[in-house]
Amino acid sequence: MKYKSQKVAYWFFALCMLLFSLQIVYGFIMGFDRIGIQGLHDIIPFNVARAVHTNLLVVWLLTGFMGAAYYIIPEEAQRELISVKWAYIQLISLAVVGVVAIVGFHLNHWEGRKFLEIPRELDFLVVVNVLLFLGLILGTLFKGKRQTTTALVLSMGLLFAALLYLPGMIWFDSQVMDSFFRWWVVHLWVEGVWELIMGGILSYLLIKLTGVDREVIEKWLYVIVGLTFLSGVLGTGHHYYYIGVNKIWLIVGGIFSALEPLAFLAMALFAVNMYRKGEKSHPNKIALFWTIGSSIVSFIGAGLLGFAHTLPQTNLYTHGTLVTAMHGHYAFWGAYAMIVLAIISYALPNVTGRKRYQSATGMAAFWLSNIGMLGMTVAFGVAGVAQVYLERKMKMEFMTVQNEISIHFVVLLICATMFATGICLFVYDFIKYGRPTDEALRA
């Protein structure tokens, strides 16, 4: 750790671990509900568990991105954060908004819009919180001694993520208009600007872990940014096929959605090539595993599995089925969860001063969580294909089909247990590192 203010990142990562663990708990509640074990159903109905599960995903990933920015930007800008005190205030206010939102969901105080269920009054607090965060990050960056491409791409992703939250706050009476702009937030986040954030973090980690020249790595970043904008923006069209908008979106969405895997392919090639070129043998192999793993799994989950059901002819049958859950779980895991776990794995030894590079627990966390998530993806996929055939081709009733495919959720729960064990080990390792110390500062 070069700058004392980088310690702020540790507390964002700690909140991140807490929210991630809570998200997994709600995932299990939904899984048991699916196989008929519904002991908590009266207290936490399935729809509430689902809303909490998906919104926690968004919040813990954003918290992880913020932690990554607080760690990376001071080092890239070569100066301390402009205000550590305000960074802690931002963290506390973020946690408070999250707690209020989750409690509200359990009291049926929400908007009912998938991924954007948070009540409108809390939206304004989110905006204030994010403006404070951006002020601290951009202020640090532009007052710094240098503005690197890595830092600029990361900051650009965070800035656009904030701006794209605004269309989701516009109130429409029309369901079609509401859905149209809701996807500006959801799609352009996860298949647009979040890719820039991932690219920025990936670039930083590869510079540190492989020893390849910054100039070489940052040239690749330009390619990724170009491909992300080329495919991601108009690729939003695959959400518009059947919501009541003009049919032109069948063509636009079909073509540009087919191009979306290119950005993830570029990132996978980018990471593997830099790893091969690297002459530096960094001792933090766990961080390297998460970094390279993220680029490869994101290509499979977000790129290939996304492509598999975004063409109009396929999406006509798979839209809104468990095939979407298959793609969503593996895509979010590879592209965003793994990159957050990668930056945490890299930063922890540096902010705490404890070089636990050879931790068997850390390696076990990597393999168990990845094998578990792969198993969950396969279980969702098999259940989804069966659902498509029975419900969309054979025209069976929705609930009848859900009963027919419930056996796949037993397999899903077994794999989810393996995944959760891996994450518990990661959290255990996080706790074992202890708190950040000033002794970790290096000259």
Q: Which tens digits make up the pLDDT trace of 17-40?
A: 999 999 999 999 999 999 999 889
Structure tokens at 261: 């895997």
pLDDT above 90 as % of the chain: 69
CA distance 321 to 374: 19
321: Cβ contacts below 8 Å, ≥ 6 apart:
384, 387, 388, 391, 392
Query: Can you say how many angstroms the Cα of residue 162 is from the centroid of all Cα atoms in its chain?
Result: 15
Give the integer Cα–Cα distance in Å for 328 and 343: 22
Distance CA 301, CA 283 (A): 29
Mean pLDDT for all residues in the chain: 92
**Closest C-alpha among 13, 28, 19, 123 to residue 66:** 13
Among 106-120, 188-202, 376-390, the range of highest mean pLDDT? 376-390
The tally of CA atoms less than 13 A away on the side-chain side of residue 358 is: 0
Residue 81 has a CB neighbour count (10 Å cut-off) of 23
What is the torsional sign of CA 152, 158, 159, 161?
Answer: positive
Can you give the pLDDT at residue 289? Answer: 95
Phi, psi of 353 (to 5 degrees): 80, 5
209 and 278 Cβ atoms separated by less than 8 Å: yes
**What pLDDT is recorded for position 115?**
82
pLDDT tens digits along 223-235? 888 888 888 889 9
Tokens of 419: 């995944």
Distances in whole angstroms, Cα of residue 97 to Cα of each of 92, 102, 169:
9, 9, 16
DSSP string, 287-308: HHHHHHHHHHHHIIIIIIHHHH
List CB contacts of 279: < 8 A, sequence separation 6 or more: 211
Which amino acid type is present at position 60? W
DSSP tag of 283? S
Is residue 221 scored above 70 in pLDDT?
yes
Which pLDDT score is estimated for 442?
66
What's the whole-number mean pLDDT along residues 72-80? 96
pLDDT digits (tens, 9 = 90+) for 303-324: 999 988 888 999 999 998 999 9
Query: CB of 156 within 8 A of CB of 196?
Result: yes
The model's pLDDT over 182-216, given as tens digits with 9 standing for 90+, comes to: 999 988 988 889 989 999 999 999 999 988 888 88
pLDDT of residue 298: 92
The one-character DSSP state at 391 is I
pLDDT number for residue 121: 84
| Encoded tokens for 407 | 């056996």
247 versus 338: the higher-pLDDT residue is 338
Residue 442 has a CB neighbour count (10 Å cut-off) of 8
Binned at pLDDT 50, 70 and 90, residue 338 comes out as very high
**Is residue 443 scored above 60 in pLDDT?**
no
What is the distance between the alpha carbons of residues 344 and 366, in angstroms, rounded to a whole number? 13
CB–CB of 146/76 below 8 Å? Answer: yes
Q: What is the pLDDT of residue 197?
A: 94
CB atoms within 10 A of CB 288: 23
Q: List, as one string, the DSSP characters of 321-389.
A: SHHHHHHHHHHHIIIIIHHHHHHHHHHHHHHH----TT-HHHHHHHHHHHHHHHHHHHHHHHHHHHHII
10 Å Cβ neighbour count for 400?
Answer: 10
Question: Range with the lowest mean pLDDT among 234-238, 259-263, 349-353?
Answer: 259-263
The alpha carbons of the chain give a radius of gyration, in whole angstroms, of 21
The band of 296, judged by pLDDT with boundaries at 50, 70 and 90, is very high
pLDDT at 85 over 90: yes
